[in-house]
Amino acid sequence: MYALVTGGSRGIGRAVAVRLAKMGYNVLINYMSNDAEAQKTLEMIREAGTDGELLKFDVSSAEEAKAALENWQAAHPDDYIEVLVNNAGIRKDNLLVFMEPAEFQRVLTTNLFSFYNVTHPLIESMIRHKYGRIINMASLSGLKGLPGQCNYSAAKGGLIAATKALAQEVARKNITVNAVAPGFVRTDMVEGLDEAELKAQIPMKRFGEAEEVANLVGFLASKEAGYITGEVISINGGLYT
């Protein structure tokens, strides 16, 4: 049994990779550049009792994603990736009035176009096997819109809409497609934010942990979650959306 986690070298993706390994999956860890951290995730997967592989490619590139996934499939003709977690993401916050075209484009290609780039090469084999689980990492920002994040909110909002659309396309084939929308989770991504000020606005008065998000993703990836599809599940300590 194989699962792919994009952005699996650090943060939420790493915690998800370990969670899926504990469920018995061999986990393919995609990442962009951080070889040492990706290797560490692989070791954690092995400690959890399964195995994994590193799949280094830029999710914002359709060509790179297609080539990497086709190569993997050619090397594993009898297997298929039945769980896909589209998790890789970046933020480049700025008020729109100051935002450069590249800041808007890079966030869209990494957080939204990546959904197409990675899902497209894998969906056909899920359909053929009549089983699959796709979980897309959205954000509170994609539901509510957050100032300074027109690019990120647009990408995550688009990802939520794509989740709902694809869910309806493949439901008959026993493939579920859901999104998870975290609030503030303690990872490298939130470094530099004013934690004290933000915590004050969160009813639970704390940031979430990557493992808490991973538990939710693990449930959505499980057989038990088979009748949940097209949903967006918030995990944010009670932050109003």
Closer CB to ligand NAP, residue 90 or residue 228? 90
Told to check if 32 binds ligand NAP by CB under 6 A, we report yes
Min dist CB 222 to ligand NAP, Å, is: 20
Catalytic residue IDs: 152
Told to check if 37 binds ligand NAP by CB under 6 A, we report yes
C-beta of residue 191 within 8 angstroms of C-beta of residue 143:
no
In the window 79-98, what residues touch ligand NAP (CB under 6 A)? 87-90
Number of residues interacting with ligand NAP: please give it, by CB under 6 A: 31
Told to check if 60 binds ligand NAP by CB under 6 A, we report yes
Stretch that binds ligand NAP, among 33-41, 46-54, 198-206, 217-225 (CB under 6 A): 33-41
| Choice from 4, 12, 42, 69 touching ligand NAP (CB under 6 A) | 12
Told to check if 9 binds ligand NAP by CB under 6 A, we report yes
Told to check if 115 binds ligand NAP by CB under 6 A, we report no
| Choice from 50, 110, 117, 149 touching ligand NAP (CB under 6 A) | 110
| Choice from 2, 20, 42, 58 touching ligand NAP (CB under 6 A) | 58
Instruction: Quote the Cα angle for 147-234-142, to 5°.
Output: 30
Told to check if 184 binds ligand NAP by CB under 6 A, we report yes
The three-state DSSP-derived secondary structure of the chain is CEEEECCCCCHHHHHHHHHHHHCCCEEEEEECCCHHHHHHHHHHHHHCCCCEEEEECCCCCHHHHHHHHHHHHHHCCCCCEEEEEECCCCCCCCCHHHCCHHHHHHHHHHHHHHHHHHHHHHHHHHHHHCCEEEEEECCHHHHHCCCCCHHHHHHHHHHHHHHHHHHHHHHHHCEEEEEEEECCECCHHHCCCCHHHHHHHCCCCCCECHHHHHHHHHHHHCHHHCCCCCCEEEECCCCCC
Lookup result for tokens 């075209």: 101
| Choice from 44, 99, 190, 233 touching ligand NAP (CB under 6 A) | 190
In the window 136-175, what residues touch ligand NAP (CB under 6 A)? 137, 139
Told to check if 10 binds ligand NAP by CB under 6 A, we report yes
Enumerate binding residues for ligand NAP (CB under 6 A): 6-13, 30-34, 37, 58-60, 87-90, 110, 137, 139, 182, 184-185, 187-190
